[in-house]
Amino acid sequence: MSWFEILRFALRGLAANKLRSFLTTLGILIGVGAVILLVAFGEGASQSIQQSIQRLGSNTLTISASFSGGGFGGGGGGGGGQAGGPRTQARQLTLEDARALADREQAPSVRSVSPVVTASSATAVHEGASHTISQLVGTYPSYFEATNKPVTSGAYFVNDDVLAARKVMVIGRTVAEELFGAADPVGRRVSVSGVPFTVVGVLKELGSSGMQDADDVAIVPLPAVQQSLTGFGALGSIIVQATGAGTTESAQAEVTAVLNQRHDITPTGTADYRILNQATLQETVSSTIGVFTALLGAVAAISLLVGGIGITNIMLVTVTERTREIGIRKAIGAPRSAILGQFLLEATVLSLVGGLSGVAIAFVGTRFTIAGIEPVIVPSSIALALGVSVGIGLFFGSYPANRAAKLRPIQALRHE
């Protein structure tokens, strides 16, 4: 008796109850498909977030003012500095801070320092076309390199532009399209809140990441935006680029030392600024997403398990229902192995067909972008989901099949 023959019996057994076989297969299909799809979405989300972090440049530190901590503690009382350590009022970040950080002696691991002020929602107008730029950034030319923003047409502004406070601007793709459409914006004039700027360059398209459109920006020399829009107050942030990926940590230590000195922060006191390290951020985010993906996978795995229980249930019903048939087969000389093989194959075919269609569905499903996330199939999830589904079929199918194969013919024949 060949295996091919037994397979034929198994297929015939399944065909005898098409609807039931189909529904059981569907259970496994959904389980396997869900595992692969959800893991693919988790992976896609993870990759897109990592990419947008990497776009910021991996060896940069972003310093911003922090107003949390006990800075306002001693305001009302008579004598200053009783509790919480000697702590003067929190200071803003200034251009002087930025200059101090650029000191080669004190901060040798720092490659460039870009002071940044940001005006949000500045309205730009060009020949009747109007667009509210979500981020208008005033900074130094080093900003382009530190934050990894190349231009596709035109050029960056240069240090001279900063010194002369020239009204020049580099705009993002969204701004260019909103104001100029298909025309080349380089050399054209744009008026921002009534102040005329000349466009010198257009940034390479970054694509949107999550909620924010990274291309809805305009970058101008620091004094130009201070003069016309924000005033010469505090800086919004300072972006420090380390000399290399390996020196980010030491750059952070140097920056901390310089700023602590300038802001009179004692080693035990609370700093009035924050340093955001891209590398650390990346690690945190990717581990968070890892947990998220694992959770999705776990939810999907449960549905796979439910599908497996469906197979077990169906095999139990099938075997019970066909006990008489098993008796007949044994009476005409079917060996135990043939009976066992037939039912095991039935279970395996169900789970394998379900599993493979689940993979196919998942492949189709991952061609769609949902909520801005492009799913990325993780090959190991396919192997795992298929393996588990076939394993479930074999494992749970073997119990009822074995029970049936062991019956004496007359016991099986008398079964009602």
Partner 1 sequence: MTTPVLSVQELSKVYGEGDAQVRALRGVSLTVERGDYVAIMGASGSGKSTLMNILGCLDVPSSGRYLIDGADVGALEERQLAVLRNRKIGFVFQSFNLIPRMSALANVELPMAYGGVGAAERRARALAALEQVGLSDRVRHEPNELSGGQQQRVAVARALVTAPSLLLADEPTGNLDTASTGDVLEILDRLSASGRTIVIITHEDDVAAHAKRVIRLVDGQIVEDRRQAPVDGPPPRMPEVPA
Which residues contribute to the site for partner 1 (CB under 8 A)?
Answer: 1-2, 5, 12, 16, 324-325, 327-336, 338, 408-410, 413
Q: Which two tokens stand for residue 143?
A: 């900003």
What is the DSSP annotation of 21-58? Answer: HHHHHHHHHHHHHHHHHHHHHHHHHHHHHHHHHHHT-T
Q: Which two tokens stand for residue 34?
A: 């869900």
**Min CB(350)–partner 1 separation in Å:** 18
Q: Which is nearer to partner 1, 392 or 412 (CB)?
A: 412
Helix, strand or coil, per DSSP, at residue 111:
strand
What are the beta bridge partners of residue 60?
Answer: 241
* Cα-based distances in Å from 71 to 81, 236, 257: 11, 19, 19
Q: Which is nearer to partner 1, 63 or 334 (CB)?
A: 334
Q: Which is nearer to partner 1, 176 or 340 (CB)?
A: 340
Q: Which is nearer to partner 1, 274 or 406 (CB)?
A: 406
Query: Hunting for tokens 């934050």 — which residue is that?
Result: 147
Query: Hunting for tokens 């940001």 — which residue is that?
Result: 118
At 316, which helix (H) or strand (E)?
A: helix 278-321
At 192, which helix (H) or strand (E)?
A: strand 189-192
**Min CB(402)–partner 1 separation in Å:** 13
**Min CB(35)–partner 1 separation in Å:** 35
Contact criterion met (CB below 8 Å) for 209 and 200? no
Question: In sequence order, which residues have a C-beta less than 8 Å from that of residue 299 and are 6 or more positions away?
Answer: 34, 38
CB atoms within 10 A of CB 401: 25
**Min CB(399)–partner 1 separation in Å:** 19
Q: Which is nearer to partner 1, 16 or 295 (CB)?
A: 16
Q: Which is nearer to partner 1, 17 or 50 (CB)?
A: 17
Phi, psi for 88 (deg, rounded to 5): -80, 170
What is the widest separation between alpha-carbon atoms in the chain?
A: 106
What are the beta bridge partners of residue 117?
Answer: 138
| Alpha helices in 221-277, H assignment, sequence order | 222-225, 248-262
**Min CB(406)–partner 1 separation in Å:** 9
Q: Which is nearer to partner 1, 8 or 274 (CB)?
A: 8
**Min CB(332)–partner 1 separation in Å:** 4
Q: Which is nearer to partner 1, 205 or 325 (CB)?
A: 325
Q: Which of 235, 405, 377 is nearest to 315 (CA)?
A: 405
- Give the separation between CA 290 and CA 35, rounded to whole angstroms: 15
CB atoms within 10 A of CB 280: 14
- Give the separation between CA 93 and CA 72, rounded to whole angstroms: 17
What is the DSSP annotation of 116-175? Answer: EEEEEEEEEEETTEEEEEEEEEEE-THHHHHTT--EEEE----HHHHHTT--EEEE-HHH
**Min CB(344)–partner 1 separation in Å:** 17
**Min CB(37)–partner 1 separation in Å:** 37
**Min CB(338)–partner 1 separation in Å:** 6
**Min CB(351)–partner 1 separation in Å:** 23
- Give the separation between CA 122 and CA 127, rounded to whole angstroms: 17
Q: Which is nearer to partner 1, 169 or 404 (CB)?
A: 404
Q: Which is nearer to partner 1, 1 or 253 (CB)?
A: 1
